Amino acid sequence: MIVTGIFLLFAAVPLVSVAEDTTSAVPDECMKISLESFGAVNCQTSLTTMLGEWCSTIFSRRKEKGGWLGTVGKSGCKVCCVFKNENNTQFYQITKAPRSLPCGNGKFCKDGSCP
């Protein structure tokens, strides 16, 4: 009976490890995105999901299955793009914000800065 219990304990350890998320280094420009946030991908329209579509276009070379979210970077006219693959691993990349993103005082981002 004890042997069975020990076997079950060791069998459960890999399952717990698989459920954890792994994150590439989060750049200073970005904030960490929770796994729960990715539930909105393809379901809701928000600034985060719209910027995620922008990121998907910019970084379209990535052939893995997964979803993109985007947030406005800490310095304004940058977008922090976060890709989550099927293994719940998150990859962070930074790009210039689209020209349609407002940056204050009636201005819009241009070439990664606010004119």
For the stretch 36-88, pLDDT in tens is 888 877 777 889 889 999 999 999 877 788 999 999 998 889 999 999 999 99
Query: What does the pLDDT read at residue 10?
Result: 38
Q: Cα 57 from chain centroid?
A: 14
Query: pLDDT category, 2, cuts 50, 70, 90?
Result: low
pLDDT at 96 over 80: yes
**Beta bridge mates, 68:** 83
Give residue 91's pLDDT: 94
Residues with Cβ < 8 Å from 72, sequence gap 6 or more? 47, 51, 78, 79, 80, 97, 101
Q: Are 12 and 6 in contact (CB under 8 A)?
A: no
| pLDDT band per the 50, 70, 90 thresholds, residue 12 | very low
